[in-house]
Structure 1
Amino acid sequence: MDLHLIGFLLWFFVVQVTTSSAHRNITTTIPALIVFGDSIMDTGNNNDIPTLLKSNFPPYGRDFPGAIPTGRFSDGKVPSDIIAESLGIAKTLPPYLGSNLKPHDLLKGVIFASGGSGYDPLTSTLLSVVSMSDQLKYFQEYLAKIKQHFGEEKVKFILEKSVFLVVSSSNDLAETYWVRSVEYDRNSYAEYLVELASEFIKELSELGAKNIGLFSGVPVGCLPAQRTLFGGFERKCYEKLNNMALHFNSKLSSSLDTLKKELPSRLIFIDVYDTLLDIIKNPTNYGFKVADKGCCGTGKIELMELCNKFTPFTCSDASTHVFFDSYHPSEKAYQIITHKLLAKYRKYLNT
């Protein structure tokens, strides 16, 4: 995700570029990156909470600088890190619940995302992780700390100029729906999630965030674990689940269009569904050898502690796989996804 996500970010953030014969100097008005959501963006918030949903052990992190398992659900960096580095903010971003967080660390942004979280409050309850509502409470606490250490003007600057990203829904669609299926059919549950996501955006806007990017759902039916559970002998993508994600995306995009007229924040809907699906369907076009299994263990079902137990069977090169475990993409896949996003949003660069 290095230069690749800048495409959509530059659409609604001011970036000044000056070039001289000796060098190119890039100065941005983006002081911080602040992220809410799930394991796609989590940089280690689950490490110190009482949950089984952890990844702070091998083989996770083996391609991270220093080969350190930090609690990121990947072989290396996750999108929040790569975006921050691309924008010149920081090489990595800390989890808000990290024990070594110092006041000065807050200025470049933090990650509130928690692996296993979702828009549905039941999702975080089932997995004992940080709910989306609690992430907003931590954000309020974060703003209070900024005010305490750096003053009210710094709070205002961060709220007005920073990038705010929200990435959620996968755990709701793939896991919690089965618990909720007594109350909802697939479409009505997707619409329930849209209501919750929209309310989250409203609350984030009311807290002062001005520039908010909301990610779509992904083709969760093509995750290796879902293929194993529901894809039959051939482990095909589970299309019922993909269709639910598509319905969620359609309704969420429409809801965001309405919110744009109501809220003072600048909002963008970031559709990653087709991008990831194309990589999964045509892996060799992107330099991958395997798209239906993860790198760790057998790749069919391993996740979290199972990855650790099956470390000896983990592939030697994660960059050959679209997924690192049975649920999460490899760092290389994240890089490619955002490169595609840059191409998609390039037309906004000069607006």
Structure 2
Amino acid sequence: MSSESLCYWLLLLVAHFSLSPSRATAGKVSAIIVFGDSTVDAGNNNFIPTIAKGNFPPYGRDFDGGVATGRFSNGRLATDFFSEAFGLPSSVPAYLDPSYSIDQLAMGVSFASAGTGLDDLTAKIASVIPLRQQLEYFKEYKERLKLAKGESMAKEIVAEALYVFSIGTNDFILNYFVLPLRPAQYTAPEYVTYLIGLADAAVRDAYDLGARKIEFTGLAPFGCVPSARTLNHDEPGECNEEHNQLAMRFNAELQEAVRKLNGDLAGAQVVYAETYSVVSTIIANPSFYGFENVAQGCCGTGLIETSVLCGLDRPLTCQDADKADPRRRQLRASPGARR
């Protein structure tokens, strides 16, 4: 995502939760609390036994001090920018990182795990943290808040926090399109509906735990990530439009689920965050947004780049993630394909 588009989307989100009248508490966000996959994993996978890690170069190249924190990005994640936009710290820490105190986590925390999905089976593939376990960590986090801040303050932090869910792509690219179990049980449209049911349940669980301001991010056109282009046997190098159609179907059903959640959950404000059209616009007209190559990745070989593969063949890593090396460029902050 380009910096211009990201900033525009951030401004809309900040305006929505800070200025618009709503059934949730308006005008204040106490913390950013995050659930999801590598799009928002701030380093939790560093502390579990999995190969799905981003704690080596070129990850973190443009982060403070050039440190690879476990974020699957050359720099900060969207949720880090959210935090800064709401006047909170400039980055959201990983819950499992023991170097952060509960006082720091009280202003923002990520429970996300790269490689996970809405479907528990997706998390098992790379031995990462399933969404249900992320919600269990949130329960534990609430108890730690009570001990550190007192019950009244802990309730206020939980009630006024912004909850971000960014998850779903891996259920397709690591699970449904790779393993035989789910295709044997569901057609592709049926699997989308199954995933939306899991998304709906996760939001309701978060609500039961005190969440009131909730944002659920839609899927980007994952048929256009470099790995999908590389593995597109019908049109090598081109976007896989079948995959993109499923992303659009998921987004349409997610928007309907969000409408229902807002009707069902008293006092809640649930927002759908559109990413598909933003990324599609950049892909369709890359030069307008300062990109030179939207077909190859910014690390590894540029063809199937994610996790450990990003550490291979480093000379091919693009030199400037903002300016775009003519040979190696992807869609903004992440040097790896969406995980």
Q: TM-score, length-normalised on structure 1?
A: 0.87
Query: What is aligned with 1:210?
Result: 212
Of 6, 10, 14 in structure 1, the residue corresponding to residue 11 of structure 2 is 6
| Secondary structure class of the residue paired with 1:235 | coil
Q: Distance in 2 between matches of 1:173 and 1:153?
A: 42
Aligned to 1:192: 194
TM superposition shift of 1:72? 0.6
Q: Distance in 2 between matches of 1:232 and 1:301?
A: 17
* 1:50-73 Cα distance to aligned partner (Å, 9 max, x none): 000001001111111111111010
Q: 2:302 is matched with which residue?
A: 299
Contact 1:294-1:322 at 8 Å conserved across structures: yes
Which residue does 1:277 correspond to in 2?
A: 280
For residues 270 and 4 of structure 1, the distance between their equivalents in structure 2, rounded to whole angstroms, comes to: 9
Q: CA deviation at 1:10?
A: 2.3
Equivalences for residues 13-92 of structure 1 within 5 A: 13-14=18-19, 29-92=28-91
Please list, as runs of the form range in 1=range in 2, the aligned pairs for 1:312-327 lying within 5 A after superposition.
Answer: 312-319=315-322, 320=324, 321-323=329-331, 324-327=334-337
Count of paired positions: 318
Normalising by structure 2, we get a TM-score of 0.90
Q: Distance in 2 between matches of 1:249 and 1:317?
A: 32
Deviation of 1:103 after TM superposition, in Å, equals 2.0
| Inter-CA distance 53–89: structure 2 relative to 1 (3 Å threshold) | same
Which one has a larger percent strand, Structure 1 or Structure 2? 1
**Distance across 1 between alignment mates of 2:106 and 2:199:** 26
Q: Secondary structure at the match of 1:292?
A: coil
Deviation (angstroms), 1:14? 4.9
The residue that corresponds to 2:134 in the other structure is 135
Answer yes or no: is 1:286 the counterpart of 2:289.
Answer: yes
In the other structure, the counterpart of 2:154 is 155
Q: Verify: 1:266 aligned to 2:274, yes or no.
A: no
Q: Secondary structure at the match of 1:293?
A: coil
Question: In 2, are the aligned partners of 1:280 and 1:322 still within 8 Å (CA)?
Answer: no
Q: Deviations over 1:283-319 (max 9, x none)?
A: 1110011100011122111221121122122121122
Q: Summarize the Cα distance change of 1:12–1:86 in structure 2 as closer, same or farther, 3 Å threshold.
A: closer
Using a 3 Å threshold, how does the CA distance of structure 1 residues 2 and 158 change in structure 2: closer, same or farther? farther
| Residues 12 and 315 (structure 1), Cα distance of their counterparts in 2 relative to 1, 3 Å cut | closer
Question: Is this contact kept in 2: 1:173–1:245, CA < 8 A?
Answer: no
Any unmatched runs of 5+ in structure 2? 1-5, 21-26
Match of 2:256 among 243, 251, 254: 254
1:74 touches 1:328 (CA, 8 Å); kept in 2?
no
- Deviation (angstroms), 1:233: 5.5
Separation in 2 of the partners of 1:191 and 1:30?
32
Q: Secondary structure at the match of 1:294?
A: coil
Which amino acid in the other structure matches residue 201 of structure 1? Answer: V
Deviations 1:69-121 (A, max 9, x none): 11010111111111111211001111000021212112201001111111011
**Residue 225 (str. 1) matches residue 223 (str. 2):** no
Any stretches of 5+ residues in structure 1 without a counterpart?
Answer: 16-27, 330-351
Q: CA RMSD in A?
A: 1.8
Matches of 1:165 and 1:215, distance apart in 2? 8
Amino acid at match of 1:250: A
2:45–2:70 CA contact under 8 A, matched in 1: yes
Separation in 1, partners of 2:253, 2:338 = 25
Task: Sort the Cα spacing of 1:313 and 1:124 in 2 relative to 1 into closer, same or farther, 3 A.
Answer: same
Matched-pair contact (CA < 8 Å) for 1:119–1:169: yes
User: Could you report, residue by residue, the CA deviation over 1:185-204 in whole angstroms, capped at 9, with x for unpaired residues?
Assistant: 11111111000000001111
Alpha-carbon distance between aligned partners in 2 of 1:296 and 1:322, rounded to the nearest angstrom: 9
* Aligned residue type for 2:172: L
Match of 1:336 in 2: none
SS of residue in 2 equivalent to 1:11:
helix
**Aligned-partner Cα distance in 2 for 1:5–1:276:** 15
Q: 1:233 to 1:325 in 2, by over 3 A?
A: farther
Rounded to whole Å, the distance in 2 between the matches of 1:76 and 1:272 is 19
